Amino acid sequence: MTITCWNDLEDGQLQGAPLASQILYLRGLRKYMDYETGLVGAKRRTSWQTLTEVLYVEPHQGETRSGSYSKQQVRRLAKRLETLGLVEMRSDQAAKHLVFFLPLAFTDRSVQKKADTNPTQTRHTKPDTEPAIANANNGGASVGKGGTEPDTNPTHPKIGKADRHPISDIKDKKPYTEADASVSAQPVVLRNPIPSPTEPQRQAPLLPPVVLTSTTPAPEPTPKVAKPRVSTVPAWTAYSAAYHERYGVDPVRNGTVNGQLAHLVRRLGDETPDVARYYLDLEDGLYRREGHSVGILLKHCEHLRTLWARSRSRSPASEISVDDVVIAL
């Protein structure tokens, strides 16, 4: 599996460029770059038709830009990349090969140059031209090449730096020795001395563990109160009988209708069957277009109950006019 990556220089130049230009650079050119030369199209041939296929977008619902780009549009996108400094055209006109050079991309040569820009310099020492035969530390005299002349530049032992006092950390004038340590060393006092075996050990009283929490305890969930179940059998019996009498077929009953009937019974109570039969007798245009559905009955149930209650009384003031039915809608 080939992994394509780009550096910060390329990413900075791609920032703000059109999305099609970025896809052309990353998927059409950068993915197939030769890391030895930084060229695209030299070893693995490419063409404007190949780059057009890279930019193809499958049609999908909601996509504002889909389909293929023309070769002229791809050339303009490549020109935009060349203006940004990401691409240089190096096409071979004689052989009619499309070749691009990516100047900002890292190649094998650029990596080798950055591998060791400041190599560690080794110290070269000049060999002794007159090595000493005897060691000066042993008290012997150094003899030159002939063995008769003394060494004019004898090797002297290195004197180390003065040690520091282990407690005061003050630099001593003379090297610190073991004799000084026996005189100046202070006894170490333990904060928690180990009790002797003869003394009885006292055990601290054990306390119950205490859990310290910074968060308040979560409130107990409120128990849900179940709604009282209502019977929709009387309402459905009255509605279905009136519906079959009017339309000659049985009404549809499903989960939605059952839920609407339950809400209707909760809102009208025992008067629901009478209101349902009254609703099926109305000749209003809206009710006929809606097929006297249960949803319209639920929507206008309070006003339909008022009209039904007024129709039961015999007083002239309670006569129902056509305008009353229209107002209910």
Angle at CA of residue 278, ends 275 and 283, nearest 5°: 140
pLDDT score for 295: 92
Rounded Cα distance between 62 and 217, Å, is 49
Rounded Cα distance between 47 and 45, Å, is 7
Residue 134, Cβ neighbours under 10 Å: how many? 14
pLDDT score for 222: 82
Residue 40 near residue 98 (C-beta atoms within 8 A) = no
What pLDDT, in 10s, does the model give residues 31-48?
888 888 888 888 888 888
Q: Is 29 exposed, middle or buried (0-12, 13-18, 19+ CB in 10 A)?
A: buried
Backbone angles phi, psi at 57, to 5 degrees: -120, 125
What pLDDT, in 10s, does the model give residues 62-84?
777 777 888 898 889 889 888 88
Pairing, β 39-40 against β 100-101: antiparallel
pLDDT score for 262: 92
Rounded Cα distance between 239 and 52, Å, is 66
- Helix pair 301-312, 255-268: axis angle to 10 deg: 50
pLDDT score for 111: 60
Q: What is the DSSP letter of 101?
A: E
Rounded CA Rg of the chain: 51
Structure token digits, residue 201: 């050990």
Residue 25 near residue 81 (C-beta atoms within 8 A) = yes
**Nearest Cα residue to 26 out of 14, 34, 38:** 14
Residue 10 near residue 1 (C-beta atoms within 8 A) = no
pLDDT score for 329: 42
Written as tens digits, the pLDDT of the chain (329 aa) is: 677 788 888 888 888 888 888 888 888 888 888 888 888 888 888 888 888 888 888 887 777 777 788 889 888 988 988 888 989 988 766 667 888 888 888 888 766 665 555 555 544 444 454 444 444 444 444 444 444 455 556 555 555 555 555 555 555 555 556 555 555 555 555 566 565 666 666 676 677 776 666 677 778 888 877 777 888 999 999 999 999 999 999 999 999 999 999 999 999 999 999 999 999 999 888 988 998 999 999 999 999 999 999 988 755 554 555 455 544 44
Structure token digits, residue 222: 């409120």
C-alpha dihedral sign at 66, 71, 76, 78: positive
Q: Is 81 exposed, middle or buried (0-12, 13-18, 19+ CB in 10 A)?
A: buried
